[in-house]
Amino acid sequence: MKTFDYADQEIGGKELTYIISSMMIGVGVLTLPRLIAKHTNTFDGWISILGSGIFFLFFGWLLAKIVSTFPKKTFLEYTSSLLTKPVAYALTFILAIAFLLTCSLETRVITNISKLYMFDQTPIEAISLVFLLVVIYGVSGSRIALVRLNLMFLPIVLAVTLLVQFFNIPLFELSNLRPAFTSSFSGYWQAAQETVFSFIGYVVVLVYISFMRSPKTAPKMTVIGIGIPIILYLIIYTVTIAVFGNLATAEIIYPTIEVAKEIEAPGGFVERFESIFFTVWIMTVFNTASMALDITIHLFQTMFKVQRKALILVVSPITYLIAMSPDTAFQIQLVGKTIALIGFFYGVIFPLILLMIIWIKRIKGVKHYA
Protein backbone atom coordinates (compact mmCIF):
# COMPACT_ATOMS: atom_id res chain seq x y z
CA MET A 1 0.00 0.00 0.00
CA LYS A 2 2.84 2.39 0.76
CA THR A 3 4.24 1.95 -2.72
CA PHE A 4 0.92 3.03 -4.15
CA ASP A 5 0.64 6.02 -1.79
CA TYR A 6 4.00 7.39 -2.87
CA ALA A 7 3.68 6.60 -6.57
CA ASP A 8 1.72 9.76 -7.39
CA GLN A 9 3.07 13.24 -8.01
CA GLU A 10 1.41 14.81 -4.98
CA ILE A 11 2.54 15.52 -1.44
CA GLY A 12 0.77 15.11 1.87
CA GLY A 13 0.61 17.19 5.01
CA LYS A 14 3.66 15.52 6.57
CA GLU A 15 5.77 16.33 3.52
CA LEU A 16 4.71 19.99 3.70
CA THR A 17 5.78 20.14 7.35
CA TYR A 18 9.22 18.76 6.50
CA ILE A 19 9.53 21.08 3.48
CA ILE A 20 8.86 24.20 5.56
CA SER A 21 11.22 23.14 8.35
CA SER A 22 14.00 22.27 5.91
CA MET A 23 13.58 25.54 4.06
CA MET A 24 13.85 27.51 7.30
CA ILE A 25 16.74 25.52 8.78
CA GLY A 26 19.46 26.52 6.34
CA VAL A 27 22.68 28.49 6.60
CA GLY A 28 20.97 31.27 8.55
CA VAL A 29 20.97 29.38 11.85
CA LEU A 30 24.76 29.02 11.69
CA THR A 31 25.12 32.77 12.28
CA LEU A 32 21.85 33.49 14.11
CA PRO A 33 23.28 33.42 17.68
CA ARG A 34 25.93 35.98 16.69
CA LEU A 35 23.43 38.32 15.07
CA ILE A 36 21.14 38.13 18.10
CA ALA A 37 23.98 38.57 20.61
CA LYS A 38 25.14 41.77 18.91
CA HIS A 39 21.94 43.59 19.89
CA THR A 40 21.06 42.05 23.27
CA ASN A 41 22.68 41.47 26.66
CA THR A 42 23.37 38.11 28.33
CA PHE A 43 20.54 35.68 27.48
CA ASP A 44 17.90 38.25 26.50
CA GLY A 45 17.94 37.25 22.83
CA TRP A 46 15.54 34.39 23.47
CA ILE A 47 12.77 36.97 23.78
CA SER A 48 13.46 38.28 20.27
CA ILE A 49 13.61 34.75 18.82
CA LEU A 50 10.39 33.64 20.51
CA GLY A 51 8.53 36.87 19.78
CA SER A 52 9.59 36.86 16.14
CA GLY A 53 8.79 33.15 15.88
CA ILE A 54 5.23 33.63 17.16
CA PHE A 55 4.79 36.57 14.78
CA PHE A 56 5.80 34.52 11.73
CA LEU A 57 3.91 31.50 13.03
CA PHE A 58 0.67 33.46 12.78
CA PHE A 59 1.41 34.82 9.32
CA GLY A 60 2.53 31.39 8.12
CA TRP A 61 -0.83 29.99 9.24
CA LEU A 62 -2.67 32.90 7.58
CA LEU A 63 -0.77 32.48 4.32
CA ALA A 64 -1.43 28.73 4.21
CA LYS A 65 -5.10 29.31 5.09
CA ILE A 66 -5.56 31.70 2.17
CA VAL A 67 -3.58 29.73 -0.42
CA SER A 68 -5.28 26.45 0.54
CA THR A 69 -8.58 27.87 -0.75
CA PHE A 70 -7.14 27.60 -4.28
CA PRO A 71 -6.48 23.83 -4.55
CA LYS A 72 -4.33 22.55 -7.43
CA LYS A 73 -3.72 26.08 -8.72
CA THR A 74 -0.24 27.48 -9.28
CA PHE A 75 0.92 30.77 -7.81
CA LEU A 76 0.46 32.49 -11.17
CA GLU A 77 -3.06 31.10 -11.58
CA TYR A 78 -4.54 32.11 -8.25
CA THR A 79 -2.84 35.51 -8.20
CA SER A 80 -4.19 36.12 -11.70
CA SER A 81 -7.72 35.30 -10.46
CA LEU A 82 -7.40 37.79 -7.60
CA LEU A 83 -5.25 40.42 -9.28
CA THR A 84 -4.71 41.36 -12.90
CA LYS A 85 -2.48 39.18 -15.07
CA PRO A 86 0.28 41.80 -15.42
CA VAL A 87 0.48 42.13 -11.62
CA ALA A 88 0.46 38.34 -11.24
CA TYR A 89 3.31 37.98 -13.73
CA ALA A 90 5.33 40.67 -11.94
CA LEU A 91 4.78 39.02 -8.56
CA THR A 92 5.71 35.61 -9.97
CA PHE A 93 8.90 36.97 -11.53
CA ILE A 94 10.00 38.72 -8.32
CA LEU A 95 9.28 35.58 -6.27
CA ALA A 96 11.33 33.50 -8.73
CA ILE A 97 14.24 35.93 -8.43
CA ALA A 98 14.03 35.75 -4.63
CA PHE A 99 14.34 31.96 -4.67
CA LEU A 100 17.12 32.18 -7.26
CA LEU A 101 19.03 34.48 -4.89
CA THR A 102 18.32 32.05 -2.05
CA CYS A 103 19.89 29.17 -3.95
CA SER A 104 22.92 31.31 -4.80
CA LEU A 105 23.32 32.50 -1.22
CA GLU A 106 23.04 28.99 0.23
CA THR A 107 25.67 27.85 -2.27
CA ARG A 108 28.07 30.68 -1.46
CA VAL A 109 27.75 30.47 2.32
CA ILE A 110 28.15 26.69 2.45
CA THR A 111 31.17 27.12 0.18
CA ASN A 112 32.78 29.66 2.50
CA ILE A 113 32.16 27.45 5.54
CA SER A 114 33.50 24.37 3.72
CA LYS A 115 36.69 26.21 2.85
CA LEU A 116 37.08 27.51 6.40
CA TYR A 117 36.55 24.21 8.20
CA MET A 118 37.28 21.43 5.71
CA PHE A 119 38.83 22.38 2.32
CA ASP A 120 41.22 25.21 3.13
CA GLN A 121 43.38 24.52 0.04
CA THR A 122 40.49 24.29 -2.44
CA PRO A 123 39.33 27.37 -4.41
CA ILE A 124 35.81 28.52 -3.55
CA GLU A 125 34.92 28.43 -7.25
CA ALA A 126 35.53 24.68 -7.35
CA ILE A 127 33.64 24.00 -4.12
CA SER A 128 30.66 26.05 -5.30
CA LEU A 129 30.63 24.34 -8.68
CA VAL A 130 30.65 20.85 -7.18
CA PHE A 131 27.89 21.68 -4.70
CA LEU A 132 25.75 23.37 -7.34
CA LEU A 133 26.20 20.46 -9.75
CA VAL A 134 24.80 18.11 -7.11
CA VAL A 135 21.87 20.50 -6.60
CA ILE A 136 21.26 20.66 -10.35
CA TYR A 137 21.36 16.87 -10.56
CA GLY A 138 18.72 16.65 -7.83
CA VAL A 139 16.49 19.28 -9.46
CA SER A 140 16.76 17.57 -12.85
CA GLY A 141 14.87 14.54 -11.57
CA SER A 142 11.38 14.20 -10.15
CA ARG A 143 10.18 17.22 -8.17
CA ILE A 144 8.20 15.07 -5.74
CA ALA A 145 11.17 12.75 -5.17
CA LEU A 146 13.32 15.79 -4.40
CA VAL A 147 10.73 17.14 -2.00
CA ARG A 148 10.46 13.81 -0.21
CA LEU A 149 14.21 13.77 0.47
CA ASN A 150 13.31 16.00 3.41
CA LEU A 151 11.63 13.02 5.05
CA MET A 152 15.02 11.28 5.12
CA PHE A 153 17.45 14.15 5.71
CA LEU A 154 15.67 16.39 8.22
CA PRO A 155 15.35 13.83 11.08
CA ILE A 156 19.08 13.08 10.78
CA VAL A 157 19.97 16.78 10.88
CA LEU A 158 17.73 17.42 13.88
CA ALA A 159 19.06 14.38 15.75
CA VAL A 160 22.73 15.29 15.23
CA THR A 161 22.09 18.97 16.07
CA LEU A 162 20.33 18.11 19.33
CA LEU A 163 23.08 15.62 20.13
CA VAL A 164 25.66 18.40 19.77
CA GLN A 165 23.71 20.59 22.19
CA PHE A 166 23.38 17.72 24.67
CA PHE A 167 27.13 17.01 24.66
CA ASN A 168 27.80 20.65 25.56
CA ILE A 169 25.76 20.56 28.79
CA PRO A 170 28.90 19.90 30.93
CA LEU A 171 30.39 23.14 29.53
CA PHE A 172 27.46 25.28 30.65
CA GLU A 173 28.24 28.42 32.64
CA LEU A 174 24.96 29.49 34.21
CA SER A 175 26.46 32.89 34.99
CA ASN A 176 26.40 33.56 31.22
CA LEU A 177 22.59 33.49 31.36
CA ARG A 178 22.30 36.14 34.07
CA PRO A 179 21.16 38.84 34.69
CA ALA A 180 17.95 38.73 32.66
CA PHE A 181 15.92 41.47 30.98
CA THR A 182 18.73 44.03 30.82
CA SER A 183 18.50 44.81 27.09
CA SER A 184 16.80 47.91 25.74
CA PHE A 185 13.62 47.79 23.69
CA SER A 186 15.57 48.87 20.60
CA GLY A 187 17.95 45.96 21.21
CA TYR A 188 15.09 43.47 21.27
CA TRP A 189 13.65 45.05 18.12
CA GLN A 190 16.94 44.99 16.20
CA ALA A 191 17.57 41.39 17.25
CA ALA A 192 14.09 40.43 16.05
CA GLN A 193 14.87 41.98 12.66
CA GLU A 194 17.94 39.75 12.38
CA THR A 195 15.72 36.66 12.58
CA VAL A 196 13.68 37.48 9.45
CA PHE A 197 15.98 35.55 7.08
CA SER A 198 15.86 32.48 9.35
CA PHE A 199 12.06 32.47 9.67
CA ILE A 200 10.80 33.62 6.27
CA GLY A 201 11.32 30.25 4.55
CA TYR A 202 7.66 29.32 5.08
CA VAL A 203 6.80 31.29 1.91
CA VAL A 204 7.37 28.00 0.06
CA VAL A 205 3.70 27.30 0.81
CA LEU A 206 2.88 29.79 -1.96
CA VAL A 207 4.13 27.18 -4.44
CA TYR A 208 4.07 23.72 -2.87
CA ILE A 209 0.47 23.78 -1.65
CA SER A 210 -0.57 23.37 -5.29
CA PHE A 211 0.97 19.85 -5.19
CA MET A 212 -0.91 18.74 -2.07
CA ARG A 213 -3.47 15.94 -2.07
CA SER A 214 -5.44 17.59 0.74
CA PRO A 215 -4.75 21.35 0.90
CA LYS A 216 -7.16 21.74 3.84
CA THR A 217 -4.49 20.34 6.16
CA ALA A 218 -1.93 22.94 5.02
CA PRO A 219 -2.53 25.55 7.79
CA LYS A 220 -2.06 23.02 10.58
CA MET A 221 1.01 21.47 8.97
CA THR A 222 2.49 24.91 8.31
CA VAL A 223 2.22 25.77 11.99
CA ILE A 224 4.03 22.54 12.91
CA GLY A 225 6.64 23.14 10.22
CA ILE A 226 7.41 26.63 11.59
CA GLY A 227 7.24 25.46 15.21
CA ILE A 228 10.10 22.96 14.79
CA PRO A 229 12.68 25.63 13.78
CA ILE A 230 11.50 27.96 16.55
CA ILE A 231 12.24 25.31 19.18
CA LEU A 232 15.53 24.40 17.50
CA TYR A 233 16.66 28.05 17.31
CA LEU A 234 15.88 28.57 21.01
CA ILE A 235 17.87 25.46 21.99
CA ILE A 236 20.88 26.39 19.83
CA TYR A 237 20.88 29.98 21.08
CA THR A 238 20.61 28.87 24.73
CA VAL A 239 23.51 26.42 24.44
CA THR A 240 25.70 28.90 22.54
CA ILE A 241 25.22 31.66 25.11
CA ALA A 242 25.63 29.24 28.03
CA VAL A 243 28.94 27.94 26.62
CA PHE A 244 30.54 31.10 25.18
CA GLY A 245 28.69 33.98 26.81
CA ASN A 246 27.08 36.90 25.04
CA LEU A 247 30.22 38.93 24.32
CA ALA A 248 32.15 36.01 22.82
CA THR A 249 29.17 34.81 20.79
CA ALA A 250 28.82 38.26 19.23
CA GLU A 251 32.38 37.97 17.86
CA ILE A 252 32.33 34.37 16.55
CA ILE A 253 31.52 34.15 12.83
CA TYR A 254 29.75 30.76 12.97
CA PRO A 255 28.94 30.11 16.65
CA THR A 256 26.70 27.13 15.90
CA ILE A 257 29.66 25.28 14.37
CA GLU A 258 32.06 26.45 17.07
CA VAL A 259 29.79 24.89 19.69
CA ALA A 260 30.34 21.54 17.96
CA LYS A 261 34.12 22.09 18.17
CA GLU A 262 33.90 22.33 21.96
CA ILE A 263 32.76 18.72 22.28
CA GLU A 264 35.29 16.34 23.78
CA ALA A 265 34.14 12.76 23.29
CA PRO A 266 35.21 10.29 26.00
CA GLY A 267 38.48 8.55 25.16
CA GLY A 268 39.10 10.83 22.18
CA PHE A 269 36.72 8.72 20.09
CA VAL A 270 35.91 11.73 17.90
CA GLU A 271 38.52 14.47 17.73
CA ARG A 272 36.74 16.83 15.34
CA PHE A 273 33.05 16.48 15.95
CA GLU A 274 32.36 19.73 14.06
CA SER A 275 33.33 17.95 10.83
CA ILE A 276 30.63 15.34 11.43
CA PHE A 277 28.13 18.04 12.39
CA PHE A 278 28.96 20.13 9.34
CA THR A 279 28.82 17.15 6.99
CA VAL A 280 25.34 16.32 8.26
CA TRP A 281 24.33 19.98 8.06
CA ILE A 282 25.13 19.96 4.34
CA MET A 283 22.09 17.69 3.97
CA THR A 284 19.65 20.39 5.01
CA VAL A 285 21.53 23.05 3.03
CA PHE A 286 21.25 20.80 -0.02
CA ASN A 287 17.50 20.50 0.59
CA THR A 288 17.12 24.26 0.97
CA ALA A 289 19.18 25.09 -2.14
CA SER A 290 17.56 22.40 -4.30
CA MET A 291 14.02 23.40 -3.33
CA ALA A 292 14.84 27.07 -3.96
CA LEU A 293 16.16 26.22 -7.43
CA ASP A 294 13.20 23.91 -8.08
CA ILE A 295 10.73 26.67 -7.17
CA THR A 296 12.60 29.11 -9.41
CA ILE A 297 12.35 26.70 -12.34
CA HIS A 298 8.68 26.00 -11.60
CA LEU A 299 7.73 29.69 -11.46
CA PHE A 300 9.57 30.52 -14.69
CA GLN A 301 7.98 27.48 -16.31
CA THR A 302 4.47 28.70 -15.45
CA MET A 303 5.33 32.10 -16.91
CA PHE A 304 7.14 31.21 -20.13
CA LYS A 305 5.85 27.66 -20.86
CA VAL A 306 9.38 26.42 -21.52
CA GLN A 307 10.58 22.87 -20.95
CA ARG A 308 11.99 22.19 -17.48
CA LYS A 309 15.40 20.95 -18.65
CA ALA A 310 15.86 23.96 -20.92
CA LEU A 311 15.18 26.31 -18.00
CA ILE A 312 17.64 24.42 -15.82
CA LEU A 313 20.36 24.93 -18.44
CA VAL A 314 19.62 28.67 -18.51
CA VAL A 315 19.09 29.32 -14.79
CA SER A 316 21.96 27.20 -13.40
CA PRO A 317 24.85 29.30 -14.82
CA ILE A 318 23.11 32.45 -13.59
CA THR A 319 22.83 30.92 -10.13
CA TYR A 320 26.55 30.14 -10.12
CA LEU A 321 27.53 33.62 -11.31
CA ILE A 322 25.42 35.25 -8.61
CA ALA A 323 26.91 32.94 -5.98
CA MET A 324 30.43 33.97 -7.03
CA SER A 325 29.69 37.69 -7.37
CA PRO A 326 30.02 38.89 -3.73
CA ASP A 327 33.62 39.75 -2.83
CA THR A 328 33.16 40.57 0.84
CA ALA A 329 31.16 39.34 3.82
CA PHE A 330 29.21 42.61 3.73
CA GLN A 331 28.06 41.94 0.16
CA ILE A 332 26.97 38.42 1.13
CA GLN A 333 24.99 39.87 4.05
CA LEU A 334 23.43 42.38 1.66
CA VAL A 335 22.12 39.53 -0.50
CA GLY A 336 20.67 37.91 2.62
CA LYS A 337 18.96 41.14 3.65
CA THR A 338 17.52 41.53 0.14
CA ILE A 339 16.06 38.01 0.33
CA ALA A 340 14.69 38.73 3.81
CA LEU A 341 13.06 41.94 2.59
CA ILE A 342 11.38 40.25 -0.38
CA GLY A 343 10.42 37.29 1.80
CA PHE A 344 8.87 39.61 4.39
CA PHE A 345 6.67 41.10 1.69
CA TYR A 346 5.46 37.69 0.45
CA GLY A 347 5.19 36.21 3.95
CA VAL A 348 3.56 39.08 5.86
CA ILE A 349 2.32 41.89 3.60
CA PHE A 350 1.16 39.75 0.68
CA PRO A 351 -1.30 37.57 2.70
CA LEU A 352 -2.84 40.76 4.13
CA ILE A 353 -3.29 42.08 0.58
CA LEU A 354 -4.87 38.80 -0.54
CA LEU A 355 -7.13 38.77 2.51
CA MET A 356 -8.32 42.29 1.79
CA ILE A 357 -9.00 41.51 -1.89
CA ILE A 358 -10.90 38.33 -1.01
CA TRP A 359 -12.95 40.23 1.56
CA ILE A 360 -13.81 42.96 -0.99
CA LYS A 361 -14.76 40.40 -3.64
CA ARG A 362 -16.95 38.55 -1.18
CA ILE A 363 -18.83 41.74 -0.42
CA LYS A 364 -19.31 42.33 -4.14
CA GLY A 365 -20.38 38.71 -4.63
CA VAL A 366 -17.50 37.81 -6.93
CA LYS A 367 -16.60 34.11 -7.03
CA HIS A 368 -12.85 34.28 -6.63
CA TYR A 369 -12.49 30.53 -6.18
CA ALA A 370 -13.38 29.70 -9.78
Residue 366 has pLDDT above 70, yes or no: no
CATH superfamily of 10-349: Amino acid/polyamine transporter I (1.20.1740.10)
Q: pLDDT tens across 311-348, in order?
A: 999 999 999 999 999 988 889 989 999 999 999 999 99
Contact 208, 11 (CB under 8 A): yes
DSSP letters for 172-199: --GGGG-S-S-S-HHHHHHHHHHTHHHH
Q: pLDDT tens across 181-219, in order?
A: 888 999 999 999 999 999 999 999 999 998 888 888 999
CA distances from 326 to 277, 323, 336 (A): 26, 7, 11
Of 158-162, 230-234, 260-264, 268-272, the one with minimum mean pLDDT is: 268-272
Position 72 scores a pLDDT of 87
Determine what percent of the chain is predicted with pLDDT higher than 90: 56
Of the candidates 59, 330, 56, 42, the one whose C-alpha atom is nearest the C-alpha of residue 188 is: 42
Angle, CA of 222, 225 and 228, to the nearest 5° = 145
**Whole-model pTM?**
0.91
Residue 368 has pLDDT above 50, yes or no: no
Of 8-12, 54-58, 110-114, the one with minimum mean pLDDT is: 8-12
Q: pLDDT tens across 284-305, in order?
A: 899 999 999 999 999 999 999 8
